[in-house]
A and B are shown apart, each in its own frame.
Chain A
Amino acid sequence: MNYLLSIRNLTIKGRSDEAWVTLLDTISLDLKKGEVLGLIGESGAGKSTLGLAAMGYTRTGCRIAGGSIVFDGMELIGAPEEELLALRGSRIAYVAQSAAASFNPAHQILEQFAETPVQHGHMNFDEARQKAESLYRRFQLPNPERIGFRYPHQVSGGQLQRAMVAMAMACDPDIIIFDEPTTALDVTTQIEVLAAIKEAIRLRNTAALYITHDLAVVCQVADRIMVLRNGKLVEEGETRCLIDDPKKDYTRALLNVRRQKKETIPPAGDMVLEVSGATAGYAKSQNVVEDVSFQVRKGRTVAVVGESGSGKTSLARVITGLLPPSEGQIRFKGEVLPSELKGRSKEILRRLRMIYQMPDVALNPRQKVSRILGRPLEFFFGITGRANEKKVIELLEMIEMEPEYYDRYPSELSGGQKQRICIARALASQPDLIICDEVTSALDQLVAEGILKLLQRLQNELGVSYLFITHDLATVKAIADEVIVMLQGRIVEQGSRDEMFAPPHHEYTQRLFCSVPEMDPDWLDHLLECRTGETLGFFKKK
Chain B
Amino acid sequence: MAFFKLVKMTSTGARIGMGMVLITMLSAVLAPVIAPYEEAEVVADVWLPSGEGHILGTDQLGRDLFTRMLYGARNTIAIALLITFLAFLVGVIGGLLAANVGGWVDMLLSRIVDVFMAFPALILSLMVLSIVGSSIPVLIMVIALLDSTKVYRLARALAMDIEVMEFVEAARLSGEGIWWIIIKEVLPNAMPALIAEFGLRFCFIFLFISALSFLGLGIQPPTADWGSMVRENAGAISFDIMTPLWPAGAIAFLTIGINLIVDWFLHRSSQIRAQ
Contact = CB atoms under 8 A, between A and B. Distances in A.
Interface of A: 320-322, 341, 344, 346, 349, 353-354, 356, 358, 360-367, 375-376, 379-380, 409-411, 425, 429
B166 A365 contact: no
Given A349-B175, A366-B189, A379-B174, A361 B272 contact: no
Nearest to A380: B174
B8 interface: no
B274 interface: yes
Given A361-B165, A361-B167, A349 B173 contact: yes
Given A366-B188, A411-B272, A411-B274, A349 B167 contact: no
A375 B169 CA distance: 15
11 contacts: A321-B173, A322-B169, A349-B174, A358-B166, A361-B165, A361-B167, A364-B167, A364-B188, A365-B273, A366-B188, A411-B272
Contacts of B274: 411
Contact of B170 (A344, A360, A362): A362
A493 B167 CA distance: 33
A354 B173 contact: yes
Contacts of B165: 361
A410 B185 CA distance: 14
Contacts of B114: none
Which 7 residue pairs of A and B lie closest in terms of their CB atoms, listed nearest first? Answer: A366-B188, A362-B166, A349-B175, A364-B167, A356-B166, A361-B165, A361-B166
Nearest to A435: B173
Given A358-B166, A360-B275, A411-B272, A365 B189 contact: yes
A541 to B, nearest CB: 47
Interface residues of B, number: 19
A343 to B, nearest CB: 11
Contact of A346 (B170, B175, B188): B175
B172 interface: yes
Contacts of B184: 367
A341 B170 contact: no
Contact of A409 (B170, B175, B272): B272
B172 A341 contact: yes
B176 interface: yes
A349 B177 CA distance: 13
A354 B172 contact: no
Contacts of A362: 166-167, 170
Contacts of B167: 361-364
Given A364-B188, A364-B189, A366-B188, A411 B275 contact: yes
Contacts of B173: 320-322, 341, 349, 353-354
Contacts of B273: 365-366, 411
Nearest to B190: A366
A165 to B, nearest CB: 30
Interface string B156-184: 00000000011101101111100000001
Given A353-B173, A366-B189, A367-B184, 13 more contacts: A320-B173, A322-B173, A344-B175, A349-B175, A360-B275, A361-B165, A361-B167, A364-B167, A365-B189, A365-B275, A366-B191, A379-B175, A425-B170
Interface in B101-129: none
A364 B169 contact: no
A354 B170 contact: yes
B244 to A, nearest CB: 44
A348 to B, nearest CB: 9
B188 A376 contact: no
A170 B272 CA distance: 42
B206 to A, nearest CB: 30
Contacts of B191: 366
Nearest to A320: B173
Contacts of B275: 360, 365, 410-411
A367 B275 CA distance: 14
A365 B167 CA distance: 9
Contacts of A367: 184, 188
Contacts of A411: 272-275
B71 to A, nearest CB: 41
A83 to B, nearest CB: 34
A364 B169 CA distance: 11
Contact of B176 (A321, A322, A379, A429): A379
A349 B272 CA distance: 31
Interface in B188-219: 188-189, 191
A188 B275 CA distance: 32
Contacts of A341: 172-173
Contacts of A360: 275
Interface in B228-253: none
B212 to A, nearest CB: 38
Contacts of B172: 341
A362 B167 CA distance: 4
A498 B272 CA distance: 46
A356 B170 contact: yes
A365 B272 contact: yes
Nearest to B269: A366
A413 to B, nearest CB: 9
Interface in B43-90: none
A379 B273 CA distance: 25
A344 B173 CA distance: 10
Interface string B244-272: 00000000000000000000000000001
